[in-house]
């Protein structure tokens, strides 16, 4: 089922027996230490409600999921950076000036969007995966996902202000497609670990690996079959897919 942005939407989707859940916080994750993942961004509305994650990719650009901002409306949209605990003081709350949804987004494929910030963030950017980083998405490769979403495989009832992360391993496209029906291998990468997963509220956040001492973003949290179900890996939009990577570069210059 698509990992919806609110508990209400998630519950409605479940009642409708929707097959997908659009990704809340990390299930069975570990609390991040302050500054551990400085590129993390929280996507919020004007009231301060955090409904999706994102990643800083440049001083005025945040990468997130298209299903977080499908209407491309920036009028009530903000990004919070420089915080591990969303309930604590500090960090930056920045108005989003413009939203760009990947024009190829359809049926969870190409699930990416770019948020242009009205003022620059001081948080450092994460490196984006390129065509030379295919090894980072090989089956079994170690990756990490982080977010403020649901901490248990429920319907978005236990989100948290404190950033959580989980270490996962990449799952092959073939294996992922056996359970995630409709999975689009060219535009998606899958990852899983026993009883660990992204979940409601984590949508749009980064799936990343470590290469040569640097964090490299491999994917964007997209969807999954519930959360942390064995044999049902989470699905992430593949950053170095040719269309996705070229679109990011064309729009943001990154």
The pLDDT of residue 151 is: 65
Residue among 157, 163, 153, 243 at smallest CA distance from 192: 153
| Nearby residues of 167 by Cβ (< 8 Å), 6 or more positions away | 142, 143, 144, 193, 196
The reported pTM is 0.89
Question: Domain residues for 133?
Answer: 1-254
CA distances from 16 to 9, 23, 76, 153 (A): 11, 17, 28, 18
Residue among 125, 68, 73, 71 at smallest CA distance from 96: 73
| pLDDT per residue of the chain (254 residues) written in tens, 0 to 9 | 444 343 333 333 332 323 344 444 577 778 899 999 999 999 999 999 999 999 999 999 999 999 999 999 999 999 999 999 999 999 999 999 999 999 999 989 999 999 999 999 999 999 999 999 999 999 999 999 999 987 665 554 556 789 999 999 999 999 999 988 889 999 999 999 888 878 888 899 999 999 999 999 999 999 987 787 888 899 999 999 999 999 999 999 99
DSSP strands (E only) in 177-231:
188-192, 206-211, 214-224
* CATH number of the structural domain spanning residue 110: 2.40.10.10
Which positions are annotated as active-site residues? 67, 111, 203
Reading phi first (left if > 0) and then psi (alpha if -120 to 50, else beta), residue 181 is in beta
Q: 3-class DSSP state for residue 47?
A: coil
Check residue 252 and report its DSSP letter: H
The total number of structural domains in the chain stands at 1
The pLDDT of residue 225 is: 79
Q: Are 23 and 201 in contact (CB under 8 A)?
A: yes
Bridge partners of 94? 79
The pLDDT of residue 20 is: 46
């Amino acid at each position: 089922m698509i990992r919806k942005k609110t508990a209400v939407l998630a519950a409605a989707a479940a009642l409708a027996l929707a097959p997908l859940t659009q990704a809340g916080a990390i299930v069975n994750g570990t609390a991040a230490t302050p500054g551990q993942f400085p590129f993390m961004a929280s996507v919020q509305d004007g009231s301060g409600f955090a409904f999706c994650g994102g990643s800083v990719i440049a001083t005025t650009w945040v990468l997130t999921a298209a299903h977080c901002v499908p209407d491309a409306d920036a009028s009530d949209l903000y990004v919070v950076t420089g915080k591990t605990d969303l309930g604590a003081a500090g960090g930056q709350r920045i108005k989003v000036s413009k939203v760009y949804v990947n024009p190829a987004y359809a049926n969870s494929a190409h699930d990416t969007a770019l948020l242009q910030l009205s003022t620059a963030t001081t948080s450092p950017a994460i490196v984006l995966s390129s065509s030379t980083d295919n090894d980072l998405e090989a089956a079994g490769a170690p990756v990490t996902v982080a977010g403020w979403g649901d901490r248990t495989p429920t319907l978005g009832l236990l989100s948290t202000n404190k950033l959580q992360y989980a270490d996962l391993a990449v799952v092959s496209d073939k294996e992922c497609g056996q359970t995630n029906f409709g999975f689009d291998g060219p535009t998606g990468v899958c990852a899983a670990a026993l009883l660990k997963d992204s979940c409601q509220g984590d949508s749009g956040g980064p799936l990343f690996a470590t290469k040569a001492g640097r964090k490299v973003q491999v994917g964007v949290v997209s969807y999954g079959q519930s959360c942390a179900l064995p044999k049902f890996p989470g699905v992430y939009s593949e950053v170095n897919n040719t269309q996705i990577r070229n679109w990011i570069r064309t729009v943001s210059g990154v």
